[in-house]
Every structure is written in structure tokens, then in C-alpha cells.
Amino acid sequence: MPTMKEIAKRANVSVAAVSVVLNNKKSRISKAKKAEIKQIAKDLNYHPNIAAVTLSKNISLTIGLIVPDITNPFFATLTRLIEQQLGAQGYSTLFVDSNNSFAAESDAVQNMVSRGVDGIILVPSNEFFLSKKKERKALIEKGDKPIVLLNAYTDLKVSYVNFDNVQGAYLATQELINYGHTHIAFIRGKANFVNAAERLAGYRQALKDNRIAFNNDLVFEGDYTLDSGAKLAPKILEDPATTAILSANDLMLFGVIKWAKQNFVDIFSRVSMVGFDNDPYGEIIEVPLTTVDQQPLEMVNETIDLLLEMLTTGEKVVQHLIVKPKLIKRSSIHKIEN
């Protein structure tokens, strides 16, 4: 493999000069000589020894990533995008699935710190928010590594990037109301689930703004899984007055559709539906699903920018960024005729 020493010999300069030029550092070296050095490096197909670079700078070029459930399509999308975007920046990703366990998250952070990651992206579990504040604080401060929370809100002194869940649910509910629906069932996440309360709040606010009375009998609690949607389906559909369903994620709505098909119910004629997450399968089902897009690429880019800014400056500046929703309109809503 070509080395800086060989480049220096061909360019008739010192190895230090080659290092300065290839690392784009300021120097008094002429533009012509810089161009010559870079051309020689290119001709020799020179690539820096990453191990040597990371050792000399005391960095690993590795970012830790912890997600609560890789089987959930939304978290799978976040993981793929983070790996892609970090890779484009020259970083590798050390990935851990916490299986929605706070203890596993804590162990993962400790392990990542021990392995010398430069920073950590944490997509918190539901248990994270149920744990005591001092325990969450201790997790955030482990190893004194830069950390950014993704898809989360917290009162801890830590940077986070979250999605405007209230506005997302509001837009979805308003879309159903615009089509004449007033008896709208809502499948929410469990009370302790990440962002569940905010999505319920958006649903309620849209009803209020349209002078539609909130009916708690129309709110059903799921756990963001396919099975929970399937189990709730008969309870939701037993009320003939229900003309629409809003689900706090697409997966539970897929469960409703699954139950309907197994029980020979023409679900797409029976009710209008709006989901959350813009799962790719929602576009290819029998009737493409209207859904709320959480803008995962924007969330990922904002998260990585925050983390790399801290790594570059060496300062742990706390910033809170909220990404706005986008309603993806398809064919799963039909108009109610008065």
C-alpha cells in the first residue's frame, strides 16, 4: 500500500507537508505544490490508514445507536437511514436493540462507552420514560459521551430531535372531519408509550376545534403491534355509527385490516382509515392508506447534525428540534354524504 512517505519522496517534500495537504490544514505551501501532492496521492491510489488516524486523534469514527424494537417498521427505517447517513460522513454504526428495556439501554450505553464510540444516538424505549429521573440522568451522563435522543421529548439536559405528534394527529383527524366524519374511533398507544399522549391530544384538539364532542368510548388502547389492532377490530366495528378509524401507527391499522379479511368484512367500504408512520406497505395494500409521515430522513439528518456538531466543537450544547408532520393523502378515506 502506498504511504505518505512515498508521496513525500515523489513530491520532494517532507512527510509532514504531505499530511498537512491531505488533511486540508492551513499552511504556507503553494497552491501548485498542494495540487501536485494531491495528484500524486490520487495516482498512487493512496488511502489513509484509518486505524492510525483514529489512534492519533483518539477517536473511533464509530457512533453507537440504540433503538427499542427493530421489528417495528418505523424504527427499522430510522436505523437504515442513520447507518446510511453516518456512513456518508465516514462513520461506522454500533447497533443495539434494547427490546424496550431500560436496563438493556443502560447496559448498551455502558458497553458502547467501553468500546470507545465517539457519540451515541438513543431512540428511547417506553421503559426509559417510566424510570426515575435520576436513573435516566445517570444513563445520559455515562462515560461523558455526546448523546442525542431521537423520537423523544425529555426535561433532562440533553439534546433531542422529536416529531410534532400533536400536529400530526390533528392533521389526520381534521382530514377525516373534512370528509364529513364525526364518529371517529381512535386507536391510541398505551399511556406510558412514547408520544402516545401527544397523539391523543392532537385528536382531541381537532374534535374540539370542529365542535365535535369527545367520546371516550371511541378511544381504544393498543400497543403499537399488529396483534393489538386485530384484537381491537371487533370492538371498534361493533358500533355501526363509527365511520372512520384513526390509528396512532400504521401497524395497528394493518391488524384491523387483517382481522377484517379473516372475518370476511369489507373493511374499506365499512370505514375510512388514516394511519401514522407512512409504512411502505400502506402504499401497496388493496386500498392505499392515507397516513401521517413523520419525516424520518429529516429527523435523522437533524440528529446526526447535532451529534457531529458536538463532536466537532467539543461542546455539549443542548438543543431541542421538532420536525413538522406531512399528511400523505391516498385512497382510504371516503366522503360521508349528509
Whether residue 327 is predicted with pLDDT greater than 80 in this model: the reply is: yes
pLDDT recorded at residue 316: 80
Contact present, 48 and 22 (Cβ < 8 Å): yes
80 in a structural domain: yes
Same domain for 197 and 151, yes or no, is: no
Whether 337 is covered by a domain: the verdict is: no
- Across the range 178-198, mean pLDDT stands at 93
Residues 79 and 170 in one domain: no
Q: Is residue 99 part of a domain?
A: yes
At 290, the pLDDT band (50, 70, 90 cuts) reads: very high
16 & 120 share domain: no
The Cα 278–Cα 293 span in angstroms is 5
Among 320, 316, 319, which residue's Cα sits nearest to residue 119? 316
- Amino acid 191: pLDDT: 86
Kindly tell me if the per-residue pLDDT of 136 is higher than 90.
yes
Same domain, 74 and 103: yes
List the CATH number of the domain containing 65: 3.40.50.2300
pLDDT, tens digit, 9 for 90 and up, residues 213-265: 999 999 999 999 999 999 999 999 999 999 999 999 999 999 999 999 999 99
> In this structure, are 238 and 174 located in the same domain?
yes
pLDDT at 57 over 70: no
Quote the pLDDT of residue 266.
96
Whether residues 307 and 197 fall in one domain: no
Q: 4 Cβ partners below 8 Å, 6+ apart?
A: 15, 18, 19, 22, 46
Cell match 447517513: residue? Answer: 85
Instruction: Give yes or no: residues 192 and 159 share one domain.
Output: no
Are 89 and 193 contained in the same domain? no
Q: For residue 53, is it within any domain?
A: no
Query: Does 333 fall in a domain?
Result: no
CB count in 10 Å sphere of residue 233: 25
Structural domain of 73? 60-163+296-324
Q: What is the pLDDT of residue 2?
A: 78
The reported pTM is 0.80
Tell whether 146 and 262 lie within a shared domain: no
- Please give the tally of structural domains in the chain: 3
Same domain? For 284 and 269 the reply is: yes
- Tell me, yes or no, whether 275 and 175 share the same domain: yes
Same domain, 263 and 313: no
pLDDT at 221: 97
